[in-house]
Structure 1
Amino acid sequence: MTEKTYRVIQWATGVVGKAALKHFIENPVFDLVGVLVTNPGKVGKDAGELAGLPPTTGVLATDDVEAIIALDADCVHYAPLVADVDTICRLLASGKNVASVGGPFSPQHYPAHFEKIEAACRAGGVSYHACGVHPGFSGDILPLTLTRLMNRIDHIQVYEFIDKVQNPMIYTEMMGFGRDPEALLAKPSRSPEAPYAFAQSMAMVAEGLGKTIEKVTTRLEVAKATKDIPYTLGEGREGGGVIRQGTVGGQHYEWTAWCEGKPLITYHFYWSMGPDIEPQWDIDSRYQVVIEGDPALEVRLMARPGPDGVRPFLGLPWTGLLGATALPAVCEAKPGFVTHIDLGVVQPHGLVRG
């Protein structure tokens, strides 16, 4: 049986984009036709080389946005560090379905963005899907699936634990690690808009349970570095530095959705610069869902340990794969903004291969 194939473009090749790019090259369901890069050092390189594979695809990376938009393609996996709605709309209007790992996610909180996206979808006759591991899986698809094991639900809690020393990321500096603790508490580095990126996930879970969210509250606590902590920004990236003793070495953001006067869904984000922080937190990198009720349950989603016994944090590669594996369903969906509910149970093809 011959499976339908989809002509795909990979937009950006950071950690997220690289995981998707490798998938597109190796999966026979996809025909890679273009790669957009923003790093001048990557221009002209074969897509295989950028994905850590043999440079034999014949698809060369470009930073020419107009050339990418002009390509004949079914879909785009859009994974820049910061999403640009106008660019997304140009891709949609050109007749390309888009899965964006950076959102925008929520029509309720960004109506102007989604008016433009819907108009572009109509113009191109295509669909737009916002996706990722969180928001997009661990905070919505996973807990919604688990609710079928429950007789009664009191409280759903979703956790993200990341050790940023073991798993270096460019977000370390952006997130304000190394700042004065009181200054960070007074003015967090994470945008006040951040909870709204996750609001659709919370709403999706609540609506799946037949409830409506009344409000979302936020809380931040910090941990201090107990010694100087050197850090890097990850493989292939220049920069890094030292988190000085007494400065912010850990952050715990807590966002809670309330329903009928009680907490219904809480998202916890525990980010730490290794174990040398006070208070000490669990730093075993993973996602975790805890549902309080009858019967209570707990599920942990994590990578297998590496040769050193440490579990790597796969949130970024998983983000790329969640977008990539959804693309055929997005291409076949009705034109417009499509959610996980609209897509139904995504059935990725091409994963089992010799």
Structure 2
Amino acid sequence: MISTVVWGTGNVGRAAIRAVDAHPELALAAVLVHDPGKAGKDAGELAGLDRALGIAATTDIDAVLATRPGAVVYAASGEIRPDDALADIVRALTVGAIVVTPALYALYDHRGAPPETREPVLAAIEAGGGALFVSGIDPGWGNDVLPLLISGLGSVVEVVRCQEIFDYSSYDQPDSVRYLVGMGQPMDQVPPMVSPMVPTMVWGGQVRLMARALGVELDEIRETLERRPLETTIETATMGKFEAGTQGAMRFEVQGIVDGVPRIVVEHITRIHPSCAPDWPAPPNGEGAHRVVIEGRPRIEVTVEATDEGGNYAAGGNATAVGRLVGAITWLAEAGPGLYDALDVPLRPAAGRLGKDRS
């Protein structure tokens, strides 16, 4: 059994606790929290399980890392604190842990990562003997292993398009939805998430990764952005009121350009209400889906719908992304120290977990 720490208990961390608990080769050893109000609470309660796990959450990072855990699922946010996230991950690598995380966007394709991010990680791996795998929570498999797998079914591939299509009204992250994504904010304010070059910083690594796998050279990476206002004021169950005239929908693309043509595209289409931008693609269930479209011969379209936490589609997307990360730990233990990406780490079957729901 690999002793495993879950660091962070937000939307990602809750799913990570459940995934580690369900894995027959992992043992939940500790749960790290930032909020003192969560300290002392049982991991099962924090994860939304109906049973205790016998692990009390703690804020004591030094004490947890001093036990030299075998693995760390770093589920704390890296969106607004990238330097802190990097420092935390380097600490875990230095004690020899396998670390899996969605928090370091620059390392989706680590070969193209800036030296200020890559070099401290490599130094920590060299010093401690740990391993790091970074995969997105949007989810990563939807922008790397799934589209690459599906592309292999075509005889002619013209465009690879990866879509996340979501209604954010049920996404329990008010700060991210309102201020990072900009829902409910004035239309003359560009949200931080889509400020120039930010989408490329976040998703460009996935575009480069797919280009490498497909054997093509990118001319450049481009960004497109469309935003629509709400025509009427709407009320959501989780985040309250969003006023008419403020941003109600956003659509952007991160395009990998090959010979002047967008050939590899990561696209996000998000709304706060289905009445906004009804002409844009919508999820079949009305709430959320991830879709891969291979334009070519044949044309192939695969839509993935996942739910968790009582039928929530955002939680389902988080859970599948976490499943990819947690499921990689045993492979990383076998592979040994190193910095890995999605082309290195296989997506393994759920061996030992079929029919064994421990929730």
Q: Would the TM-score normalized by the shorter structure come out above 0.5?
A: yes
**Does the C-alpha gap of structure 1 residues 258 and 163 become closer, same or farther in structure 2, counting only changes over 3 Å?**
same
**Does the C-alpha gap of structure 1 residues 134 and 312 become closer, same or farther in structure 2, counting only changes over 3 Å?**
closer
Is the CA contact (8 Å cut-off) linking 2:306 and 2:317 kept in structure 1?
A: no
Identity %: 28
Report what 2:306 is aligned to: 303
By how many angstroms is 1:167 displaced? 3.4
Secondary structure of 1:341 counterpart: coil
By how many angstroms is 1:304 displaced? 6.2
**Does the C-alpha gap of structure 1 residues 151 and 157 become closer, same or farther in structure 2, counting only changes over 3 Å?**
same
Q: Tell me whether 1:272 sits opposite 2:268 in the alignment.
A: no
Deviates more, 1:242-251 or 1:332-341: 332-341
Distance 1:122 1:31 in 2: 25
By how many angstroms is 1:54 displaced? 4.5
Distance 2:232 2:19 in 1: 41
Q: Tell me whether 1:329 sits opposite 2:331 in the alignment.
A: yes
Is the CA contact (8 Å cut-off) linking 1:228 and 1:242 kept in structure 2?
A: yes
Q: Give the counterpart of 2:297 among 294, 298, 302.
A: 294
By how many angstroms is 1:256 displaced? 0.7
Is the CA contact (8 Å cut-off) linking 1:274 and 1:283 kept in structure 2?
A: no
Report what 1:203 is aligned to: 208
Is the CA contact (8 Å cut-off) linking 2:95 and 2:130 kept in structure 1?
A: no
Distance 1:302 1:275 in 2: 17
Report what 2:88 is aligned to: 87
Equivalent positions of 1:186-225 (< 5 A) are 189-191=193-195, 192-225=197-230
Is the CA contact (8 Å cut-off) linking 2:324 and 2:347 kept in structure 1?
A: no
**Does the C-alpha gap of structure 1 residues 341 and 162 become closer, same or farther in structure 2, counting only changes over 3 Å?**
same
| TM-score normalised by length of structure 2 | 0.88
**Does the C-alpha gap of structure 1 residues 52 and 205 become closer, same or farther in structure 2, counting only changes over 3 Å?**
same
Q: Give the counterpart of 2:134 among 108, 130, 146.
A: 130
Q: Tell me whether 1:165 sits opposite 2:161 in the alignment.
A: no
Report what 2:231 is aligned to: 226
Deviates more, 1:87-96 or 1:204-213: 204-213
Per-residue CA shift, 1:203-246, capped at 9, x if unaligned? 222122211212011111111111112236x5xxxxx3421101
Report what 1:254 is aligned to: 253
Report what 2:244 is aligned to: 245
Q: Give the counterpart of 2:150 among 146, 171, 175.
A: 146
* Root-mean-square deviation over aligned CA pairs: 2.2
Secondary structure of 2:267 counterpart: strand
Distance 1:304 1:58 in 2: 27
By how many angstroms is 1:179 displaced? 2.0
Higher helix share: 2
By how many angstroms is 1:100 displaced? 1.1
Q: Tell me whether 1:98 sits opposite 2:103 in the alignment.
A: no
**Does the C-alpha gap of structure 1 residues 71 and 231 become closer, same or farther in structure 2, counting only changes over 3 Å?**
farther
Is the CA contact (8 Å cut-off) linking 1:43 and 1:60 kept in structure 2?
A: yes
Secondary structure of 2:313 counterpart: coil
**Does the C-alpha gap of structure 1 residues 28 and 89 become closer, same or farther in structure 2, counting only changes over 3 Å?**
same
Per-residue CA shift, 1:115-153, capped at 9, x if unaligned? 110110111112110013436210111010011101111
| TM-score normalised by length of structure 1 | 0.89
**Does the C-alpha gap of structure 1 residues 7 and 349 become closer, same or farther in structure 2, counting only changes over 3 Å?**
farther
Distance 2:102 2:278 in 1: 33
1:207 partner letter = R
Is the CA contact (8 Å cut-off) linking 1:156 and 1:264 kept in structure 2?
A: yes
Secondary structure of 2:293 counterpart: strand
Q: Tell me whether 1:181 sits opposite 2:187 in the alignment.
A: yes
Secondary structure of 1:299 counterpart: strand
Is the CA contact (8 Å cut-off) linking 2:145 and 2:343 kept in structure 1?
A: no
Report what 1:237 is aligned to: none
By how many angstroms is 1:278 displaced? 4.2
Distance 1:311 1:112 in 2: 37
Distance 1:161 1:348 in 2: 27
Secondary structure of 1:19 counterpart: helix
Is the CA contact (8 Å cut-off) linking 2:151 and 2:160 kept in structure 1?
A: no
Is the CA contact (8 Å cut-off) linking 1:135 and 1:201 kept in structure 2?
A: no
Deviates more, 1:164-173 or 1:81-90: 164-173
By how many angstroms is 1:113 displaced? 0.7
Distance 1:305 1:17 in 2: 14
1:149 partner letter = L
Gaps of 5+ in 2: none
Report what 2:124 is aligned to: 120
Distance 1:304 1:343 in 2: 25
1:155 partner letter = V
Is the CA contact (8 Å cut-off) linking 2:154 and 2:297 kept in structure 1?
A: yes
Distance 1:27 1:172 in 2: 32
By how many angstroms is 1:28 displaced? 2.4
Distance 2:168 2:30 in 1: 32
Per-residue CA shift, 1:93-125, capped at 9, x if unaligned? 111110012124243142221111011011111
Secondary structure of 2:344 counterpart: helix
**Does the C-alpha gap of structure 1 residues 46 and 178 become closer, same or farther in structure 2, counting only changes over 3 Å?**
same
Is the CA contact (8 Å cut-off) linking 1:256 and 1:266 kept in structure 2?
A: yes
